[in-house]
Amino acid sequence: MRKFICLFVICFLPIATTLRAWEGNVLVSTPNTSIILSATEGQQLRFSYFGERVEEDQIHQVFDAWTGFHRPAYPVFGTSTYEISALHAVHADGNQTLDLIVDQVEQNPVKDAVLTTITMKDRIYPFTVKMYYKAYQHIDMIETWVEVSHKEKKAVVLKRFDSGHFLIRRGDVWISSLHGHWGAENMLEEEKLTNGQKVISNKDGMVNTETDNPSFMLSIDGKPQEEYGHILGGTLAWTGNYLLKMDITNTKLNIIAGINEENSHYKLESKETFKTPEFAMTYSTSGKGGVSRAFHRWARMYKLSHGNVERDILLNSWEGVYFKVNQEGMDQMMKSFSALGGELFVMDDGWFGNKYSRDRGDSSLGDWTVNKKKLPLGIEGLIASAKKHKIKFGLWIEPEMSNTKSELFEKHPEWILQCKNRPLSTGRGGTQIVLDLTNPEVQDFVFSVIDNLMTHYPEIAYMKWDANSCMLDYGSPYLPKEKQSHLYIEYHRGLNNVLERIRAKYPQLILQACAGGGGRINYGILPYFDEFWTSDDTDALQRVYLQWGVSCFYPAIAMAAHVSADKNHQTGRYLPLKFRFDVAMSGRLGMEMQPEDMTEADKEFTQRAIQAYKGIRPIVQFGDLYRLISPYENKGVASLMYVAPEKDRAVFYAYKMNHFINMTIPNVKMNGLDPQKKYQLIDLTPLSKNKPCSLHNKIISGKILMEKGIALQTLLKNEYYSLRASRSKIINKKLMKMATKNFSWSSAFSILLCTQNIKKESVSF
Ligand code: GLA
């Protein structure tokens, strides 16, 4: 009987619905998601709902069904809530509290988005907070940030200053986030959240994504799945210290994110405005994959420099020659790389410094003039070589840094971050020190490093901008003593100023963000950069894990992935060249080795692989990512694919991660294809040109590829045997002996397929 009544009510409810707009509520919507805020003048701003899109006439249904909340949207310390606060201000009279009420609400269209601005004022003090929600209209992404200002007679001290706050109902919530270490950055971790707090943070001042990354996903209905389930994704667009906090109680989960306030109390002067970085959130009903694809599209369209321009295939000199730089050697590298089909050569560390030659990592940073002994023809000589070999030219710099052994430090010791009355702390090589970018003179200097190089050598197409130190000494010779606690914030404001100037003057320059590897992979720095160096660890097996983690939030077009030498320099592992290429070809392909060390057979393979990448480049760099089998599930294989927006082409990757006799390997079901279309499978990188795998040229419908999948079991096994046979011919005996003993070498295998839509329906399979 009860059931019957319920059914009865639900059936008739739509007829009784009134279309009246819900007064006092503000709807912030993207194509598929909405936030509802309750913003009544004179009352506190309340956060009521975040989830699937609702229309204005459905707002009351959300409240009636009680899927919403009615909690402070931007909780302030002292009056609004005891649970959590996003803003804590201490007034000059010692009052530690705020009490904010809504003063004004505006909604305006801006490029591809709707900007909602809610102005809140303190009931008593002349203190204003403007809260922004930018809802993108082509992507499910909402950015939020605040601007804090006041007209009090004396400065107000900000003790917390978060960018935003979201609330969700507590369920079986799991978090996916990235953690790591140098050489193992951005490894994916997933855990169930229980009552209490989960914190993602960084405090090193500079290299902010080496250990944690300011990004996360929250699955609200159980263990996160790749292509189904409700998942929220968030990221803080800041390249300095951050703190992202999940505060979990029995009934709800507060998400709060902003600049890490630790050691950063901010003295806000009257009429000064403090703007927080943007905190961006997306909401997907199609699992982690949906979240990643939203981030990738958002990055390419709005957050990445040149997000719609194909990236060149480059050779970076670092692991090939390290500091052993000379004109002949570089010319030879460029020549070899060009013959392989490469497009850009990057001269890494070791090219500069005269009084102190940069021969190790312990001198010369700041002395950005070419070393005349190593490179007597100067940068001109390198550019001439690049021209001769018909490739572009790029240069490594580390402009925020210096060494105690450098002319720059001798001239400007006051430009270095340092603690008053204490000896300098030093980093890499026992001599590396950090410039004080809070100082406008230092900002001018850093700008001039790039400006001078670009003015003299406008042919420079690319720069790798490195930062190999955290902030060692907490102290700025430039900031006044009462504002020393602004250091972590002012440093990054200074850096942003410089980057703004560079981008304004050199909009075409391609910039890579590097910080001792993957230490600067964040949406705070990316708007100025085209890509990031994913990790100093170039071991392809470990890269499968690293790149998988990074792919959760950052797009393949920006993920620099380089093929490096056999016997990897970081892990000592031997992996087949094919495996190394197949892994690097799932990102922005590059190489980081001495091409002359390759055998003729390896060169022939490399040529074919580079050629193949040129063909799939638009799919990898602009397509939609579908992760198929996670390496973190330890199934012995990992698999992923990219699908072109028109679904007429796709690239599929499968990597065999370890090998046991008769091991069970799952079939892999593809995703993102059109079930109605037929696809021709092409083996893109067969080890031997004329021996593609058994799937080559098969024509299979999207439906079968997605519902039944393909059996990797036989495919990987066969290739594995043929791979070993051909390897034995091309490597020397000593290496072969070592290699066959090495488990990973003999077990790693990969397949890279390109599918393309067969338009003629008559083709059978
Ligand atoms: C850092 C980078 C490397 C390389 C070296 C050069 O470690 O991550 O790729 O550029 O510096 O010193």
- Report how far apart, in Å, the C-alpha atoms of 656 and of each of 11, 187, 200, 583, 635 are: 53, 19, 32, 11, 9
Say how far apart CA 224 and CA 217 lie, in whole Å: 9
Q: Which residue's alpha carbon is at the smallest distance from atom 2 of ligand 1? A: 516
Percent of the chain residues topping a pLDDT of 70:
90
In this model, does residue 403 exceed pLDDT 70?
yes
Residue nearest to atom 11 of ligand 1 (CA): 516
Q: For residues 474 and 419, is the Cβ–Cβ distance under 8 A?
A: yes
Atom of ligand 1 nearest to the CA of 464: 10
The b/e string for 135-167 (b: 16+ C-beta within 10 A; e otherwise) is bbeebbbbbbbbebbbebeebbbbebbbbbbbb
Q: Which helix (H) or strand (E) holds 159?
A: strand 156-169
Cβ neighbors of 354 (< 8 A, separation 6 or more) are: 367, 369, 371, 372
Atom of ligand 1 nearest to the CA of 536: 8
CA 687, CA 579: separation in Å to the nearest integer? 10
- Residue 455, classed as helix, strand or coil, is helix
Distance in angstroms (rounded) separating the CA atoms of residues 762 and 356: 71
398: Cβ below 6 Å to ligand 1?
Answer: no
How high is the pLDDT of residue 758? 65
In the chain, the percentage of residues whose pLDDT exceeds 90 is 81
Separation between Cα atoms, residue 176 and residue 656, nearest integer Å: 24
Question: Which atom of ligand 1 is nearest the CA belonging to 517?
Answer: 8
Residue 722: which pLDDT band, with cuts at 50, 70 and 90?
very low
Joined together, the tokens standing for residue 545 give 């894990």
Most confident of 570-584, 593-607, 663-677: 593-607
Q: Which of 349, 360, 398, 469 to mutate to test the pocket of ligand 1 (most atoms within 8 A of CB)?
A: 349
Instruction: Name residue, tokens 């021996």.
Output: 691
> Across all residues in the chain, what is the average pLDDT?
90
Distance (angstroms) between ligand 1 centre and the Cα of 362 equals 13
How high is the pLDDT of residue 2? 39
Ligand 1 mean position, distance from CA 361 (Å): 9
Q: What is the whole-number distance in angstroms between the Cα of residue 516 and the centre of ligand 1?
A: 6
Residue 468 Cβ < 6 Å to ligand 1: yes
pLDDT tens, position by position, 491-529: 999 999 999 999 999 999 999 999 999 999 999 999 999
What is the 418 CA–ligand 1 centroid distance (Å)?
24
Q: Is the distance from CB of 213 to CB of 177 less than 8 angstroms?
A: yes
Predicted confidence band at 657 (pLDDT cuts at 50, 70, 90)?
confident
pLDDT classification of 695: cutoffs 50, 70, 90:
confident
Under DSSP, the state recorded for 430 is G
CA of 294 to the centre of ligand 1 (A): 31
User: Which DSSP state fits 418?
Assistant: -
Taking the centre of ligand 1 as the mean of its atom positions, its distance from the CA of residue 321, in whole angstroms, is: 12
**Residue 169: predicted pLDDT:** 86
Which atom of ligand 1 approaches the CA of 396 most closely?
10
* CA distances to 165, 737, 745 from 741, in Å: 53, 7, 8
Where does the pLDDT of residue 591 fall: very low under 50, low under 70, confident under 90, or very high at 90 and above?
very high
Does ligand 1 lie within 6 Å of residue 212's CB atom? no
Distance 588 CA to ligand 1 centre (A): 18
* 35-52 per-position pLDDT tens digit: 999 999 999 999 999 999
CA-proximal residue: ligand 1, atom 6 (nearest): 349
- Whether residue 514 has its Cβ less than 6 Å from ligand 1: yes
Q: Is the Cβ atom of 319 under 6 angstroms away from ligand 1?
A: no
Q: How confident is the model at residue 749 (pLDDT cuts 50, 70, 90)?
A: low
Average pLDDT over residues 345-362: 98
Order of strands across the sheet that contains 637-643: 624-629, 637-643, 649-656, 749-758, 678-683, 699-701
Q: ∠ CA 458-464-467 to the nearest 5 degrees?
A: 130
SS3 call for 569: coil
Closest protein CA for atom 1 of ligand 1: 516
374 CB-near residues (< 8 Å, 6+ apart): 325, 326, 327, 350, 351, 357
- Determine the pLDDT at residue 555: 98
The mean pLDDT value for 421-430 works out to: 97
Mean local confidence (pLDDT), 26-39: 96
Whether 542 has a pLDDT exceeding 90, the answer reads: yes
Q: Which atom, in ligand 1's list, is nearest to the CA of 361? A: 12
Q: How many other CB atoms are found less than 10 A from the CB of residue 451? A: 15
pLDDT recorded at residue 716: 72
Our CA angle for 451, 456, 458, nearest 5°, is 80
pLDDT number for residue 754? 65
Question: Would you state the pLDDT for residue 717?
Answer: 62
What is the rounded end-to-end Cα distance, in angstroms, of the chain?
55
- Measured in angstroms, how far is the CA atom of residue 706 from the centroid of ligand 1? 41
* pLDDT, position 691: 87
624 lines ligand 1 (CB under 6 A): no
Q: What is the mean pLDDT of residues 528-556?
A: 97
**Which sign, positive or negative, has the C-alpha torsion 190, 191, 193, 197?**
negative
* Cβ(103)–Cβ(41) below 8 Å: yes
Q: CA nearest 186: which of 216, 218, 215, 210?
A: 210
Average pLDDT over residues 200-204: 96
Closest atom, ligand 1, to C-alpha of 515: 8
**CA geometry: angle 229, 70, 220, nearest 5 deg:** 15
Q: Is the pLDDT of residue 746 over 60?
A: no
Residue 720 to residue 662: CA distance in whole angstroms: 13
**Which of 314, 351, 362, 468 most suits a substitution to test ligand 1, by most atoms within 8 Å of the C-beta?**
468
pLDDT in tens, 293-329: 999 999 999 999 999 999 999 999 999 999 999 999 9
CB 541 within 8 A of CB 575: yes
CA 739 – CA 405 distance, rounded (Å): 42
Q: Using a 6 Å cutoff on CB, does residue 361 contact ligand 1?
A: yes
Does the CB atom of residue 537 touch ligand 1 within 6 A?
no
Ligand 1 close to Cβ of residue 681 (< 6 A): no
Residues contacting 594, CB < 8 A, separation 6+: 320, 321, 333, 565
Question: What is the rounded distance in angstroms from the CA atom of residue 302 to the CA atom of residue 527?
Answer: 8
> Exposure of 742 by Cβ count < 10 A (0-12 exposed, 13-18 middle, 19+ buried)?
middle
The answer, yes or no, to whether any atom of ligand 1 lies below 6 A from the CB of 348, is yes
List the residue whose alpha carbon is closest to atom 12 of ligand 1: 349
Q: How many CB atoms lie within 10 A of CB 218?
A: 26
Q: Could you give the CA distance from residue 278 to residue 162 in angstroms, rounded to a whole number?
A: 10
In terms of Cα–Cα distance, which of 531, 532, 498 is closest to 514? Answer: 532
Specify the range with the lowest mean pLDDT, choosing from 204-208, 433-437, 757-761.
757-761
Cα(553)–Cα(339) distance, rounded to whole angstroms?
A: 35
The pLDDT of residue 464 is: 98
Among 316, 318, 360, say which to mutate for ligand 1: greatest number of ligand atoms within 8 Å of CB.
318
- Which amino acid makes up residue 550? V
> What span, in angstroms and rounded, lies between the C-alpha atoms of 524 and 209?
11
Residue 352 DSSP symbol? B
Q: Following CA atoms 485, 489, 491, 492 in sequence, which dihedral angle do they give, to the nearest 10 degrees?
A: 170
What's the maximum distance between 2 C-alpha atoms anywhere in the chain?
93
Question: What mean pLDDT is predicted for residues 527-556?
Answer: 97
Specify the amino acid at residue 414.
Answer: E
Distance 466 CA to ligand 1 centre (A): 7
Atom of ligand 1 minimally distant from the CA of 592: 9
Ligand 1 binding pocket includes 517 (Cβ within 6 Å): yes
How high is the pLDDT of residue 759? Answer: 54
3-state helix, strand, coil in the chain (%, to 5): 30, 30, 40
CA of 327 to the centre of ligand 1 (A): 20
Q: What does each C-alpha distance from 444 to 412, 435, 452, 463, 494 come to in angstroms?
A: 14, 12, 11, 18, 10
At residue 577, the 3 state secondary structure works out as helix
Is the CB of 210 within 6 Å of ligand 1? no
Q: Which amino acid is residue 69, in one-letter code?
A: F
Phi-psi region of 634 (alpha: psi -120 to 50; beta: other; left: phi over 0): left
Ligand 1 center from residue 5 Cα (angstroms): 69
Distance 348 CA to ligand 1 centre (A): 8
CB-based contact 84:63 (threshold 8 Å) = no
Substitution candidate for ligand 1 out of 209, 396, 512 with most atoms within 8 A of CB: 396
Nearest CA among 222, 165, 166, 214 for reference residue 190: 222
What spacing in Å lies between the alpha carbon of 448 and ligand 1's midpoint? 22
- Of 339-348, 515-524, 736-745, the one with minimum mean pLDDT is 736-745
CA of 350 to the centre of ligand 1 (A): 10
Contact present, 59 and 27 (Cβ < 8 Å): yes
A 10 A CB-CB count for 67 gives 14
Which residues make Cβ contacts (< 8 Å) with residue 262, sequence separation at least 6?
203, 241, 243
Question: What is the arithmetic mean of pLDDT over 388-414?
Answer: 98
Q: Report pLDDT for 232.
A: 97
If one compares 751 and 168, the residue with the highest pLDDT of the two is: 168
Does the Cβ of 536 fall within 6 Å of ligand 1?
yes
Q: Between the CA of residue 23 and those of 26, 39, 57, what are the distances in Å? A: 9, 9, 11
| Atom 7 in ligand 1: residue holding the nearest Cα | 516
Taking each helix axis from N to C end, the angle separating 712-730 and 600-622, rounded to the nearest 10 degrees, works out to 140
514, 521, 543, best to mutate for ligand 1 pocket (most atoms within 8 Å of CB): 514
- CA 441 to centroid of ligand 1, rounded, Å: 27
